[in-house]
């Protein structure tokens, strides 16, 4: 069954697209998707499918600003959600080598006062504002349980092994962005800091290492109304469920929404990461994520590159609704949360509780 215009519009709202190119060209994949009303795009400096040997979307500050201006102009929305990972330190897409200011890692900042983190985050937010980027997929609020963790600890992405200290620094990071009109996204729920594997590569199980203390940073920031969005982790935590968090209703709907009280936008980690693709097909993963409470699906095109990924997702979700595997009301709820997030950005009311 082909999606009607209203259904297609709602499906596009819940997609975040990664793409190749330093500029927007007429009729290319991203131009077509943005013009049609896709909810978000995400920028990277290097291209995953090429083994990180090719560039992706970043060459210089002028080029990135021009790219973002083109993307905003092509979108039917007053502001397209343009996302990027700018935690600081190693996870930083706008690097010094491209002409951007240096940044500090979360671990380094965590040894100081939260005011220093505010000032460092203010520098990042200023950089994003000048570029036309309005959604920072940061801060990382994972607790530094395992300093040798290949994806968190070893990359200095956690502020501290103390969850309360993580919460304080993350709050400073968020406030600095809000003061400059930039949305943020806490990651990776329900906690990736204790893992011994990298979920980019494959199966990652934190059952024996995770504790509920890893929820504290999420809980504290939700209580303070400082959470615009939350990103899921592709980790398996059998203390909570037997499937990765991204496709777990127990973890998203029950734990994050019901227990912690978060009713804002939930964004999946990249649906092309090994922890998902090596166990589930794209259709099963997309339907599972939406049914579990994910609102925005990150189709970053960094595992493999699919020119038709948007149309594939539209077909998958349309078929799921037609066959009863996904309720249309669940899709509309997700699209509604994303519209509300965009409205808060457009109306500059980022201090409102999501």
Catalytic positions:
200, 269
Quick one: which of 247, 354, 332 has its CA closest to 294? 247
Q: Encoding tokens for residue 41?
A: 């795009």
* 33 to 44, 68, 135: CA distances (angstroms): 18, 15, 18
Count of beta carbons in the 10 Å neighbourhood of residue 96? 10
Taking the C-alpha atoms of residue 280 and residue 278, their distance in angstroms, rounded to an integer, is 6
Count of beta carbons in the 10 Å neighbourhood of residue 101? 12
Quick one: which of 111, 98, 50, 64 has its CA closest to 304? 50
Taking the C-alpha atoms of residue 282 and residue 280, their distance in angstroms, rounded to an integer, is 6
Taking the C-alpha atoms of residue 15 and residue 56, their distance in angstroms, rounded to an integer, is 19
Taking the C-alpha atoms of residue 44 and residue 85, their distance in angstroms, rounded to an integer, is 8
Per DSSP, the three-state class of 314 is helix
Count of beta carbons in the 10 Å neighbourhood of residue 180? 17
Name the E strands within the chain.
15-18, 40-43, 81-84, 86-88, 91-92, 135-136, 183-189, 229-232, 265-267, 297-299
């Amino acid at each position: 069954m082909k999606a009607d215009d209203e259904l297609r519009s709602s499906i596009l709202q819940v997609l975040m697209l990664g793409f190749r190119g330093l500029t927007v060209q007429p009729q290319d994949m991203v131009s077509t998707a943005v013009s049609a009303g896709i909810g978000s795009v995400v920028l990277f400096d290097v291209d995953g499918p090429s083994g990180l040997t090719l560039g992706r979307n970043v060459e210089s500050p002028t080029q990135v600003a021009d790219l973002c201006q083109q993307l905003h102009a092509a979108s039917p929305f007053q502001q397209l959600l343009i996302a990027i990972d700018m935690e600081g330190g190693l996870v930083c897409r706008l690097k010094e080598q491209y002409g951007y200011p240096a940044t500090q890692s979360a671990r380094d900042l965590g040894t100081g006062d939260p005011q220093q983190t505010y000032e460092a985050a203010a520098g990042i937010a200023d950089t994003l504002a000048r570029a036309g980027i309005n959604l920072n997929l940061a801060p990382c609020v994972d607790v530094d349980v395992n300093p040798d963790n290949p994806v968190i600890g070893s990359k200095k992405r956690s502020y501290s092994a103390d969850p309360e200290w993580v919460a304080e620094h993350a709050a400073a990071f968020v406030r600095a962005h809000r003061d400059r009109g930039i949305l943020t996204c806490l990651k990776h729920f329900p906690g990736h800091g204790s893992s011994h594997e990298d979920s980019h590569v494959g199966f990652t199980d934190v059952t024996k290492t995770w504790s509920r203390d890893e929820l504290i940073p999420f809980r504290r920031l939700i209580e303070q109304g400082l959470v615009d969005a939350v990103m899921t982790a592709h980790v398996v935590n059998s203390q909570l469920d037997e499937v990765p968090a991204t496709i777990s209703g127990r973890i998203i709907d029950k734990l994050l929404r019901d227990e912690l009280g978060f009713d804002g936008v939930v964004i999946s980690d990249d649906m092309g990461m090994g922890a998902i693709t090596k166990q589930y097909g794209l259709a099963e993963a997309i339907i599972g994520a939406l049914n579990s409470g994910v609102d925005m699906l990150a189709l970053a095109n960094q595992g493999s590159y699919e020119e038709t990924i948007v149309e594939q997702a539209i077909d998958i979700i349309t078929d799921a609704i037609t066959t009863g595997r996904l309720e249309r009301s669940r899709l509309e709820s997700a699209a509604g949360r994303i519209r509300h997030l965009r409205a808060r950005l457009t109306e500059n009311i980022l201090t409102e509780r999501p």
